[in-house]
Structure 1
Amino acid sequence: MIKKLRTNWLAIALALAVILSLFLSSLIWTNPFQYEGARRENIRGNQQYTTQSMGDVYLPTTVVRTDRRGNQTTLYSPEVTLVREMRDSIRSWQFGRVSAVKTNNSDVYLSYLRHRNSLMLSYPNAVPTLIFNETFSQEINSDQVGQINHIVIPLSGPREVYLLSDHHYGIYRLRVNKGSFSKIVQLAKGTKQIPVDHKIVNGQTITTYPREFTLPTFAFQITNQNIETLSSNLISGSRQSNITTTRNGDRTIYTSGNNRRLSYNRVVGTINYRSYASDEYRSTEQLYSYFYNRLVKTGVQLNNIRFDGTSAHDRRFTYRTFIDGFPVFNDDGYGSITMTDKNGAEQCQMSRYSLQVPLPTSQRQEKLPSSTTVFNLLHASPHFKEFKGLRIGYLWKSGGNKKVVKLTPTYFVKYHGNWVDYEEFVK
């Protein structure tokens, strides 16, 4: 018997490999992950811990297709990171000169937001042109175009791209000297779509949802970064520091000298770091690269983290987890990182928890009402005049299981600087 095994060991090993392969394939066929795109990114992150480039973190977050009749839909894809794929294609384009088309005219500006037969990539907040250049490997003169909210790519007519700035309704034309639009057109074809419309209300550009629609719910396993490593990364910076640790109720306090202090809430897992060690002034434009470098030094995986906005007055930047182009919100701040640099003081607020492994779900679809319906419901709230914005996102619900999170799509309103589930105001 042993002699036969030795003689036929190769055939036996091959047979076992085939059986194992069939078994694993059956598991994938019968129990696939719903959010395939996140799974692939996560695998790359786990294997290589690849640092996301600054251009990845400052990517636009939404893609809108406007057809020849003027109908608009926002595009998303569970299979690919749509904006990143489009960015990779645009990087090969060669732009020519920049020319101003129009400023200070909201009607003309709105017509470009609704440009027929076009694709539009939008940021959640304006970014300086140097960030656009970094992301798309271009060299647009920042003296000609100060900041950008939207990138409009007409799919017919002259080969050109429009950069739109909500500030003063600036419209700027870029000639495309070299580059093919066919790749981004192809990427847009295999996507899911939600009807949208753009409006300008009280001087602010907003995206509305004229009809009810559905979005999938997700489930993720949560990963928690080692607090000792995280605190050391935040406090130490580029120098080795002596860190003192003390406990105060539910909080652990890490300090380094009199200038650096990190407070960790052990119950909810949130972190508040302050530093008074820097007397270097950084311009607002410099903060984009400075905060990106600080993000990298924390050691937090940035696979799904995107820039989500600034508060110029407070010099505060927010970075947030995005799923399929939709932001993730949580009452305890999970999924977001806020960084501030003001009056020589630096502050970072974040959580040690992040979304890691997508889990199988029943692929349940959540039906959401039109934004008109939501506006009508919110209008009855005594806080209506205090609402400053409305957007679609995912609500992070941990429930009783702290290792698994459920993401449910809903509307969020901006209330006193925070994004709150609209249902909190219509109960």
Structure 2
Amino acid sequence: MMIKKLRANWLSIALTIVVLVSLLLSGIVWTNPFQSDYFHRENGTNNQQLAAQSIGDVYLPTMIVRTNNDGDQQLLYSQHKDLIYQAKEKLASWQLGRTSTVKTNNSDVYLSYLRHHDSLMLSYPDNIPGTVFNETFKQSVDISRVKRINHIVIPLDGSRELYLLSDYHYGVYRVRIAKGDPQKIVTNMHGLTPINVDHRIVNGHAVMVYLHSFALPRLAYQISDQKISSLSANLMSTTQHANFTTHQDGNHVVYTDGTNRHLVYDSARGTVNYENEVGRSNENNINQLYSHFYHALTKTGMPLNNVRFDEVTNHGRTITYRSYVEGFPIINDDNYGGAKLQADANGVERYLMSLYTVQVPLPLDGSTVRLPSTNSVLNQLHNSSHFRDITDLRVGYEWKTEPTNHQTVKMEPTYFAKYHGKWVNYTALLK
């Protein structure tokens, strides 16, 4: 009897189940903005962000600034839209033409282009070669003329050109737009949180400053924990040498292949130090390192969907990659969420990385942190004995591991000061 009733009403039952599941998923999406962004990215226009990352995804600009007709600038911030990725997709569909030099070695002219009225500016955290720009945006800009790029300025006044800016020698380069519509570079401005900013020249570099105090959300993420067995095999095994030996030294596990590869895993911190003597005959030039290190990262098996190029140091021989959340870098002492790759002049490559990267965003209570203006932070630091050793300042997220839960991480926004070559929470320098 019961079976007959079920058979007779199977359609109604199925529809009821579908409605209940739909309501449950809708409740999750509406009450969890982090998860809704995740679902959107997985099923919407940003699907590629969760797929295998191309070199153009890793070497994307990280910030986008709108300058109005009066010259006022706003950083366009959003938790739910990847504006940079939208801009990349549009720019990659354009056809860029002739490149010419506007001006070099003039900081006043350079600053005027950083503040170009009625424009959008896409900014990298550090300079990239013209070759990487071309590969990212599928273009063929003259790299003999444009060797380094820090900013991409796109006028919205109807002109058929964009400008590539290089902090090195204050280079300003004009690129004709043969095909493409600059006014459609970002089509949906709704739901954005603009933050008032300005640009200045400090120590030969373009620096973005925050004019007033502003709020950023606290964040939480689920951690992806790569297995050391997988990472060590990816780094140590080659077609010539598939076997390697290990031995324990306290919290350290040391891997060697008997030739030129050496890896030390710190089990207490989850960090890996890897060294490989490739020899001078296999040494890459500095421009090639960007591509070489990208391919090295992909071979490690490290998830790269949130990882971005962040910094180049050591005369171009060391490149740092960090995880980025909401357009801001995650910074910590152990390179959690990122990696630092170096190739010295003697043909030795060194990687410093961790097993941990951020993956799935988790719900929080919606609380925010109000950060002071850049001038306020500088005034505080000026009274510190450490001030003379500070060379840069930026906003980012500090990785805070939960003591009782190593599978999740909470992150809090703050200013970081570059002190003796390392990024540290600025409050630590006020003590």
Q: Which residue of 1 aligns with 2:430?
A: 426
1:253 shift after superposition: 1.3
- Aligned pair 1:197/2:201, yes or no? no
One-letter amino acid of the structure 2 residue matched with residue 359 of structure 1 = L
Task: Judge conservation of contact 1:317–1:338 (CA < 8 Å) in 2.
Answer: yes
Q: Contact (CA 8 Å) 1:34, 1:360: kept in 2 or not?
A: yes
Counterpart for residue 388 of structure 2: 385
Greater alpha carbon shift after TM alignment, 232-241 vs 44-53: 44-53
Gaps of 5+ in 1: none
Which amino acid is 1:379 matched to?
Answer: H
Say whether residues 1:349 and 2:358 are aligned partners: no
* C-alpha deviation, 1:309, in angstroms: 1.3
- Alignment match of 2:411 (pick from 407, 410, 416): 407
Tell me, in whole angstroms, the C-alpha distance in 1 between the residues paired with 2:239 and 2:70: 55
Q: Which residue of structure 2 lines up, in the alignment, with residue 339 of structure 1?
A: 341
Paired residue type of 1:269: G
Q: Deviations over 1:293-317 (max 9, x none)?
A: 0111111111110001111437111
Aligned residue among 286, 308, 315 for 2:317: 315
* Superposed structure 1 runs of 4+ greater than 4 Å apart: 38-49, 237-240
1:351 and 1:194 map into 2 onto residues whose CA distance is 32
Deviation at 1:276, TM superposition (A): 1.3
- The CA deviation at 1:385 is 1.0
CA contact (8 A) 1:128 1:147 kept: yes
Q: What is the one-letter code of the residue matched to 2:34?
A: Q
Cα deviation, 1:362-383, whole Å, max 9, x if unaligned, reads 1111100011110011111111
Contact 2:155–2:182 under 8 Å retained in 1: no
Flag the 1:96–1:66 CA change in 2: closer, same or farther, 3 A.
Answer: same
2:362 paired residue among 356, 359, 362 = 359
Size of the alignment, in residue pairs?
Answer: 426
> Could you say which residue in structure 2 is the equivalent of 1:369?
372
Q: Which amino acid aligns with 1:20?
A: V
Q: Which of 402, 413, 420 pairs up with 1:416?
A: 420
- Structural mapping, 1:121-140, within 5 Å: 121-140=122-141
Deviation of the 1:91 alpha carbon: 0.9
Question: 1:252-310, CA deviations, whole angstroms, 9 ceiling, x for partnerless residues?
Answer: 11211131111111111011111114441210111111100011111111111000111
Offset of residue 188 of structure 1: 4.1
Task: For residue 398 of structure 1, give the secondary structure of its aligned residue in structure 2.
Answer: strand
Code of the residue aligned with 1:26 in structure 2: it is: G
Partner SS for 2:295: helix
Q: Which residue of 2 aligns with 1:12?
A: 13
Task: Indicate if the aligned counterparts of 1:260 and 1:274 stay in contact, CA closer than 8 A.
Answer: yes
AA aligned to 2:54 is S
Which residue of the partner structure matches residue 70 of structure 2? 69
* In 2, Cα distance between equivalents of 1:286 and 1:159: 31
Residue 145 of structure 2 aligns to a residue whose secondary structure is: coil
- 1:217 and 1:43 mapped to 2: Cα distance? 25
1: CA distance between counterparts of 2:316 and 2:170? 24
Report if the CA contact (8 A) 2:254-2:264 is conserved: yes
The one-letter code matched in structure 1 to 2:370 is K
| 2:288 counterpart residue number | 286
Deviates more, 1:278-287 or 1:48-57: 48-57
Q: Could you tell me which amino acid in structure 2 is paired with residue 423 of structure 1?
A: T
Rounded Cα–Cα distance in structure 2 between residues aligned with 1:236 and 1:41 = 34
Residue 396 of structure 1 aligns with which residue?
Answer: 399
Q: One-letter code of the match for 1:56?
A: D
1:92 aligns with 2:96: no
Q: 1:185 to 1:394 in 2, by over 3 A?
A: same
1:267 is the counterpart of 2:268: yes
Could you say what secondary structure the match of 1:361 adopts? coil
Q: Is the 8 A contact 1:34 1:363 kept in 2?
A: no
Code of the residue aligned with 2:9 in structure 1: it is N
- The secondary structure found in structure 2 opposite 1:133 is helix
Please say if residues 49 and 301 of structure 1, whose CA atoms lie closer than 8 Å, have aligned partners that are also in contact: no
Q: Which string of whole-angstrom CA distances, capped at 9 and with x for unpartnered residues, describes residues 110-143 of structure 1?
A: 0000001100001111111010000111001111
Q: RMSD of the alignment, in Å?
A: 2.1
CA separation of 1:203/1:293 partners in 2, compared to 1, >3 Å: closer, same or farther? same
Query: Relative to structure 1, is the Cα distance of residues 416 and 285 closer, same or farther in structure 2, using a 3 angstrom cutoff?
Result: same
Name stretches of at least 5 consecutive residues in structure 2 with no aligned partner.
none
Asked if the contact 1:151/1:161 (under 8 Å) is kept, the reply is yes
Matches of residues 179-258 of structure 1 in structure 2 within 5 Å? Answer: 179-237=180-238, 240-258=241-259
Alpha-carbon distance in structure 2 between the residues aligned to 1:302 and 1:163: 27
Q: Distance in 1 between matches of 2:110 and 2:95?
A: 25
**CA pair 314-170 structure 1, distance change in 2 beyond 3 A:** closer
> What is the TM-score when the length of structure 2 is the normalising length?
0.94
Match of 2:29 in 1: 28
Do the aligned residues in 1 keep the contact of 2:220 with 2:409 (CA within 8 Å)? yes
Does the 8 Å CA contact 2:241/2:257 hold for their aligned counterparts? no
Distance 2:370 2:178 in 1: 44
Distance in 2 between the 1:46 and 1:85 partners?
Answer: 12
TM-fit CA distance, 1:356: 1.5
Distance 1:82 1:317 in 2: 25
How far did 1:201 drift? 1.8
